[in-house]
Amino acid sequence: MRLPSIEMRKRVLHGLVVFVLIYVALIFRVGWIQVVRGDELSDAAMQSRTREISVQARRGMIMDREGRELAVSVDVDSLYAVPAEVRNAGQWAAALAPILGMDERVLRDRLAASASFVWLKRKMAPEAARAVRELDLSGLYFTMESERFYPKGTLASRVLGFAGIDSQGLEGIEMSMDELLRGEPGAISMEFDAEGREIPQAVYHYTPPVEGSSLYLSIDEIIQFIAERELARVVSETEALGAHLLMMDPSTGHILAMASYPNFDLNRWSEVSPVLWRNPLVSDTEHPGSVFKPVTGAAAIEEGVVTPSTPFYDPGYVRVPGAVIHNWNRQGLGAADFALGFAKSTNTIFVRTGLDLGMEAFYRYLYGFGLTEPTGVDLPGEAKGIFPPQDRARPVDLAVMSFGQTLTLTPLQMINSTSAIINGGYLMRPQIVHSIEDTVTGEIRELAPQVIRQVISEETSATIRDLMVNVVEEGTGSLAAISGYGVGGKTGTAQKTVGGVVSRDQHLASFMGFAPANNPAVVCYVVVDEPQGIYYGGQIAAPVFQTVVSETLRYLEITPEFPDEIQGQVPEGVGQPEEVLHQVPDVTGLSVVEAEQILDQRGLEFTRVGTGGEVIEQFPPEGTEVRPGSQVLLYTERLDEEQADVGMVRMPDLMGMTLRAAAEELGAVGLRMEVTGSGIIIGQEPAPRTHVQRGTIVHLYLSSP
């Protein structure tokens, strides 16, 4: 037998070595892939065959200071398609178009798209979702999303703002506090094959969303409603362009009402002009007019320039370099003191006081009262006051600014500075958010009032309060008087600037006031924009103040300072002595029809809040004495199908379902889920067929841990 040649043996050996090296290399490669990069490649493979469907987080609620709901979120259905599972895009599009209100061609293109996921309709009406489910078309699925709902419609619309399709805040509190309200979205991950078909019994992974924090505002719904009602009335009666009202607690800086008219329905925000979205009380500056005079007076008294008894001679005009300035009525008081000039809102006396105070001190108090910078309120788009730069201001500028012209301020700056003047001299940071609730832990964090600085002494503050009380008792603000309470205030009538020019016939009528006089619980600022006919603040804005603040004091149960006056004389135009006051009857528990009949018989007006059939709360409460024609608010329970979205729902039976099927069932009734395990559902809490609150988290236990 012939042995292989040496050459052949070498080739075999070489081949064996090469084979061994290749084998070793393969082993090394497999080890590298399996051990070193195993997790990375496994994740990549999983990602290539999984699809993640976002589960939108529910926005936190916005409530008034008493916990009444102003903005809530409800879970609604959104429809998406997996095009690879759609058998006939044309037929599916023809069937869906009339239900979804969409163009058939657009739907067909989406259903035939080369994508693994396409939205068809987000945040659907319940009827449309039911109709799509009845079609039972392959490749169509639902997921839950959160939709914003404003149960009070137009109430506080420019304060609350609104949220968009992706639950992002776009205006108002919804925008400024968006980071707290929006929460963190969750997701459902599912496995699909190479052709985009769902893999049966595949692994599901559910990451629950985290609900956003809820806010309690400092605003009170009842006071806000009263304010908006009176603004609508004064605009109608005076044919004004609009009207605004701010009310604060001067000791804390809490904003109790922030109202502008006209307003808009928050549930239909996209249907109105964007001009109405803007909140002019924080975003627009205006000439304050004579309501600014307490600022000049407080600065001058604090600096020792004047006292209430400082004598003046008022001929009706005053000459300053470059101008002759007249009183608003072109009449003079003759010999008078500062207190009388304050009560009669005399421009000439304030011009001389401002000039005696001097430029440096005047600007120092502008800063001190927070008028040179935004207040820092938690609302978007806040503006700040506009003044001539101090180094370029002329004596005529100082003279005119002393009685509230030339300079411009936001209404919020103006009321905040007045609060500092009457509360003992302390400038507060205005607060629109009262407290924040963590919806995960249930912890409520109250935001403490913030003192920025003390601007004037308590003695000066008390002096200005007395001077402002004199305005109502003996001066231009008599129509603001409230029986039983001491009221202080200041009227204002400012010329508007139009196109950079001060207008002669376009005015802002305003009134700034507070009550009770000795210990102010509220300060209120009313501005009426371009009233037709009479345009003086004491005649147009002061009566609005009187009505709103008198009802507010009664609602807050503020004890009258002079109870003997309540049934006595009241100023002319506010209510005549011979008027018989009516007691508000108790209509809670009655049907709306019965309640309205009783109120109508008593000569009282009424407004229905809500869409239910039974009165569950009323304001004013039973026994309150009111003038004929006063408004009574009737709060009704929500009974209709649309409003039931925020009520109780019946728990579906999910046993034996897949996670996707369960998600669709829960989404249909507005419930959320928390998942343990994977596979088929073998347990659930709460139990099937029990009644739970919409938005409740349902715990699902699946077959594989």
Q: Which residues are catalytic?
A: 290
Does residue 221 contact residue 155 with C-beta atoms inside 8 Å?
A: yes
Neighbouring C-beta atoms of residue 34, cutoff 10 Å: 11
Cα distance between residue 626 and residue 228, in whole Å:
19
DSSP state of 32: I
Does residue 79 contact residue 232 with C-beta atoms inside 8 Å?
A: no
Number of H helices, E strands in the chain: 20, 31
Burial zone of 540 (CB within 10 Å; 0-12 exposed, 13-18 middle, 19+ buried): buried
Cα distance between residue 13 and residue 447, in whole Å:
85
Cα distance between residue 493 and residue 469, in whole Å:
19
Give CA separation, 463 vs 307, 485, 488, in Å.
9, 18, 12
Cα distance between residue 393 and residue 391, in whole Å:
6
Cα distance between residue 489 and residue 80, in whole Å:
60
Bridge-based pairing of strands 582-583 and 605-609 is: unpaired
Task: Tell which phi-psi region holds residue 485, choosing left (phi > 0), alpha (psi between -120 and 50) or beta.
Answer: beta
Cα distance between residue 290 and residue 403, in whole Å:
5
Neighbouring C-beta atoms of residue 206, cutoff 10 Å: 22
Neighbouring C-beta atoms of residue 112, cutoff 10 Å: 17
Place of tokens 């002669």: 504
Amino acid making up residue 114: S
Does residue 665 contact residue 689 with C-beta atoms inside 8 Å?
A: no
